[in-house]
Structures are given as C-alpha cells and as structure tokens.
Amino acid sequence: MRKFIFLLLVLLPFVASAQMERSIVIDESSFAPVQTDVMSGVPIDKIGKDRSNRECARIKMRINRMTAAEIDELSVRPFGGNVEVMKCVVATEGNGLIIEMTAKQPTRFYITHPKYGDSNEVSFNLSGGKEYRVDAELRLQHTIVVASNFANVEVYVDGVYKGVTDSNYMLSIGDVTLGEHKIKLQQGSLVSEQTVNVSSADISFRINLDHVAARPQYVIFEVEPKWANVVVDGKSYVPDQYGLVTIVLSNGVYNYSVSANDYYSTSGTLQVQGAKVEKSISLKPAFGWLYVPDSGDLNGANVFVDGTHIGTAPLKSAGIKSGEHKVRIMKTMYKVCEQTIVINDGETLTFAPKLEPDFADVTINAGAGCQIYVDNEFKGTTTWSGRLTSGSHMLESRKDSHRSTSVAKSVMPGSSRLVFTLADPTPIMGTLNVISTPGMADVYVDGVLVGRTPLMHDALVGSRDIVIRKQGFGDYKQSVRVEEGNVVDVVATMAEYKESKNKTYVETAKGLNLKMIYVEGGTFAMGSTSGGSDEEPVHNVTLDSYYIGETEITQAQWRAVMGSNPSSYTGDNRPVERVSWDDAQAFCKRLSELTGKRYVLPTEAQWEYAARGGKKSKGYTYSGSNSVDEVAKYSSSEGHANVKSKKPNELGIYDMSGNVWEWCSDWYDSYGSSSQTNPQGSSSGSDRVLRGGSWRGNASGCRVANRNSSAPSSTDSSYGFRVVCFP
C-alpha cells in the first residue's frame, strides 16, 4: 500500500498538469448551409443587418459535452475590425449557440469561455441572409491511474484495451474525459469490473483481483439413471459406471441439461464461485413396467407390446413408455388375447388375462409300426394322444414301402376326448427271382431268411440287401432296388471257401461287415520311371505284415460308425466320398474306440505294396491287371460304382485302381533314394497323399505308382479311403 501511495505522489504533478490540457474544438468540416429552397420546406427567420447596414448571416453551432449554463458563458471573437457580432445566445434546445454576424467571405472567428478558454480559429464563407450549421465539442481530458494487486493485468476502459499494469502493479491512462467510465481488469479467466467517476478531484482508482476465489473448481454431477447424458454450456459428458460426471470449470454461470431416453429431461443454471459444486439429479421416468404372471394358462405364453415380442410369461418387461399400448398374448392351443393398457410413470402394471382354450384332446390309433402324421408333422408311432387346435386337420398313417392312408377330421374346442382310428397303409410289392450256383443255398432279404434257391419271392419296394449262404462257400451279397410290379433277377455264383494260411477277418462291430485282407510283409521296389517325376527315384521299401480293407469304406459302413452320410452319389455299397483327410482320421479313431483294435489310414508305402499284390504281385501296371477296364472305374460321367464292381487284385483286394481316390496318412513330399523300412513319410507338409485314381480321372491316374495330393481339409466327390489294421 505504501508503495502505491509513494508512486501516486510522484505522479500527482504530472496528473495536475494533464488536467489543464483542455479545449473547445469547432469541427470545421461539419460546416454546411441550411437548405432554404422550395423543396425543403424549411422557412428561415428574417436575419437583420449590422450597425453599418451590412447583411448578416446566422450560424447555429451545436456544442457537445457542454451544459446550457456553460454555453451561455461563451462569446464570439471575430478577426478584423469590420465584422460585427449582432447576436450570441443559447439555442432554445439548450445544447447549442446561435450566432448572427456580418456576412463576409471569408469570415474568421473563434469562441471563448472564461473557464475552458479559447477554441480553435475557423474561417467560413458567409452570405447575407443565409443560415448555416456547424458542430463543436468541449474536450476535457484527464490522465488517470489504475492500480491493482498484480503485474501484467490487462486494463480496459469502456471496453477499450489500454495496456497492462507494470511491475509496480499500475497503469497510467491519458485522454480520459470527465464523468462515469467502466474499468475492467482481466488476467486469464479472472475478471474484475468497477464503474468510476472521473473528476478533477478523483483521478486514481484501485481494483484488485481475487485469485483464490477465481481458481477453477470441481463441478460434480451425480445422475440417475447412471447413463444419462449431461450437457454443460453445449458440451456433452458421459457419466462413469457410478453415474458421476466430474469436470473442472472456471468461475462463472453455466447452463446445464440432463437427459436420457424414456425420462423427462431437466435443465438449469449453476454458478461456480470459489468453491466446489455438487449436483445430484434424478430424472423422473417417462415409463413404467408391465408384469405378466404365469397364473392360469399364461405360463409360456408369448407377450407382444405394440406388435413387438418382449418375451414369454412369467415376465417383467423392460421400461415401456408411459401411455396407451396394445398388448397381445399368444399361446398355442389358446385364442389370441388383445387388449389396450395404460402404463403410468414409474409404475408396474400387472396384466393377467384369462386365456380361452382353442383345442380338443384327441387320440389317434394306427397299425403296428405305422407312423402317425398330423398336418404333415410327425406325432408318433402306432398310437398318439395329445391336443389339436380347433379346425380341420389332415391325419395320415405312413410306413416305408407302403402307400399312406389319410383322412381329414374337424376338431371343435372344448369337446370331450376324440378318438380317431386310421386304416393301415397298403404294401407296395415287387418280385425277387434268386438263382445260385450251387443251388439250395439259403436266401436272406434284409437279414431275414425267406427260402432256398431257386426262389421267387415277393418283396417290398425299395433297396433290399440280398445275402446267399451255403456251407463250404463264401457268402454272396448284393443290394438290389425293388420296384412295384417288376421282377429283379439275382444270379449268384458262389466261390468255394478255401481256408488260407493267414486268415482274413471280418470286423462286425456296429454291423460293419468290414472284411480285412492279410498282407504278408516283404520288400518291394516303390515308385516308377514311367510316370511323373514325383514317382522317382525307384527305391526299396521293407514292410511288416498288416491287414487292409478289402474295399474302400462304404457309405453304409460310414453311417454305422459316424451316424451320417456326406456323399454326393448315394448308395449303401458305394464308397463314401466328400470326406476329408481329417474326416477319415476321425472315422479311424471312432472305429478303434468301438473295437479295441488299432485302425489307421495306410501309409503311402503300405497302400502301394497292397495295390501291387504284395508277395503275390505279378507286376501289373494297375492293381490286379494290365488292362485298366478289368479292375478300375474311371473316366465316368455317372459317378463312382458300388465297391467290388471290378476284378480284385492278386490279394483279393478291390478298387485300388479307380472308383475314388484314397487318402493315405503321409504328408506329400518327394521320394528319397535310400532303402527304407516301414516309412511314415515326411514329418511335415501342406498336403496329404491321395492314391489310386478315381471315377472321373484318366487311366494313367489308376496306375499303382501314380501319386496325387490335396489339403487335409479338402473334400470332393472323388475322395474316399480304406483302413489298415495291424495283426
């Protein structure tokens, strides 16, 4: 404070001197005649003459910043002794001076005041009897001192920037007129304003800034619902998981709003003034809830509000907008219930209408083993009891290889139990003509003994498995398609059974009937010099003994183990196809689990050794012959054939040339030149080996040395496999 007083004493002489810098200024540029022509319609009072009978002119001078009393003290001082001032009076409006003087060109004069002194000198061309106007202004200027409690504070006077306070916290400002002024001090977001009255006795002003009160403050909103949107002065904020929004604001007044879907919005203003602000806002819900209990028959009923499914009873809905809504309750066997409800703000409406039955209890009887269908929907076998909705229904009795019987029945709701009995389906028959060599062999149709050959037997239409057996002879098996009214000839030549040194065996798990051929181990030359480069070099391979499937895995065998059939060309005795290497591995794993034996895919060496005929090999190009047509299904547009459709090879193995490509366990890689024992192939790669050619390939692909490959996940209607087991 003492520092401020000292500096003020130093500045006082300067300020006092500045106070005397005052003047009256006539704006010479504003001088203009008053229109007196007819168009203007402005009459001019008669202007007299001076004492020398010379015409005078009138000047109306408007003087700003001067009172009427001060104007009355003004006098006119012309230059030259030949100009007379005839009138100098205050205008009736009180803010101007009316002067009449001798008209000359030019006329020079100034005005003077006993307190404010002389004005500037002006020179006007005046004409007698004319009236003119001109503006003047009293300009009193002070130098004031503005002091604060900080340096570098911006200072504004009446909104005009004047500078910043110096290191002594002061700023001197010149050219400030007397009267009221608004002084504003600003430093960053900190502002302080004060209205002052500048007079000759009051020229210094102190305005302090309160930095503590102006420090930015925390503003915290706690909102419900917790996901409501908070907007402060147009900026949006998202609450945290607890419904809190924390922001920092400078001192001031702010507009805010809080809104959320299905709630009433709220808004207002908040003031930050030197302290933390906390606001807790809970929006009023503009929704309520719907509760549908499971009382009566409502349990499981579907509930719709305004056409939208919201769940099944019992349920309490999510928030539903307040007001009228259409509710629909739907449940099978009941009539639809529709009503209009009213949801109130924040309230739960319990809605429990009584559903009206729309069904009857029925029992449907059919013949033994017959399948019962209602409106093409399976209901059960032989007999079924349940509910049917009111109206007309189509009842059917179905049975494989039989013509279905059907009847239409009407059902009325609320009836006592209705009983319907359906007629048995009619068998559809064809004929089997079975002849065998030797004769008197037993004939089995779908596992049932039906007589001895020769035999004419009526059989149901469809696929039928024929097995012909006679002691001392190998079984003859064939699948045939029986068609209505047609005769199917089955002619069997049975091979006399000779027990081999190393017995083959038949895997019977899950009804597979999978014959496994014994392959005695040995050494052979693997590869070829007459095929592709990947068949070279020819190298010796030694293998231990193993069993290999007599045929490729059939679709019936696959279905027995895996429960499905992925094939494109279906038939129980056709090879399964559209199986990947991964699928084949899964089959081997499952079969091993079922039997306790170790079933795997053959290695590429095991496959080629068996295809060549093992120790019984005769060196054929194809598996079992030098004539591809004798042993292979290839170059066909009709798909693959049943297994065993061609001659077997030297070991009694079928279809190792043609029909379908067969997956091997190895990664596809080039051959080495050294001799190998029980090779397993490369330890890594991108493709797995396929061998044997296929139904849609050429003859070259059916050679026993030919190699192919594909990705382990690939499937194709020409990809199948056979399995290996170890003794």
Question: What was the pLDDT predicted at 319?
Answer: 86
> Residue 474's pLDDT band (boundaries 50, 70, 90)?
confident
> Residue 39's pLDDT band (boundaries 50, 70, 90)?
very low
* 643 and 690 co-located in one domain: yes
Of 76-80, 280-284, 487-491, the range with the lowest mean pLDDT is 76-80
> Residue 87's pLDDT band (boundaries 50, 70, 90)?
very high
Average pLDDT, the chain: 90
- The Cα–Cα gap between 23 and 173 comes to 19
Domain boundary pick from 181, 212, 243: 212
Structural domain contains residue 498: no
7 pLDDT more than 60: no
* 408 and 432 co-located in one domain: no
Q: Could you tell me if residue 692 is left (phi over 0), alpha (psi between -120 and 50 degrees) or otherwise beta?
A: left
- The Cα–Cα gap between 719 and 569 comes to 12
> Residue 4's pLDDT band (boundaries 50, 70, 90)?
very low
Whichever domain contains 409, its CATH number is 2.60.40.1120
Domain boundary pick from 350, 369, 402: 350
- The Cα–Cα gap between 687 and 49 comes to 129
Structural domain contains residue 499: no
* 205 and 228 co-located in one domain: no
Q: What is the pLDDT of residues 110-126, one digit of tens each?
A: 999 998 889 999 999 99
Structural domain contains residue 661: yes
* 408 and 266 co-located in one domain: no
Q: Which long-range contacts (CB under 8 A, 24 or more apart) does 223-226 make?
A: 223/258, 223/280, 223/281, 223/282, 223/283, 224/281, 224/282, 224/283, 225/260, 225/263, 225/283
pLDDT over 70 for what percent of the chain? 93
Q: What is the pLDDT of residues 403-437, one digit of tens each?
A: 999 999 998 887 688 999 999 999 999 999 999 99
Q: 438 preceded by cis ω (within 30°)? A: yes
Domain boundary pick from 242, 259, 282: 282
The whole-number average pLDDT for the span 531-555 is: 95
Q: Which domain holds residue 443?
A: 428-493
Structural domain contains residue 714: yes
Question: What was the pLDDT predicted at 20?
Answer: 37
> Residue 8's pLDDT band (boundaries 50, 70, 90)?
very low
Whichever domain contains 248, its CATH number is 2.60.40.10
**How many domains is the chain partitioned into structurally?**
6
Question: What was the pLDDT predicted at 214?
Answer: 64
The DSSP H or E segment spanning 18 is helix 2-19
Structural domain contains residue 291: yes
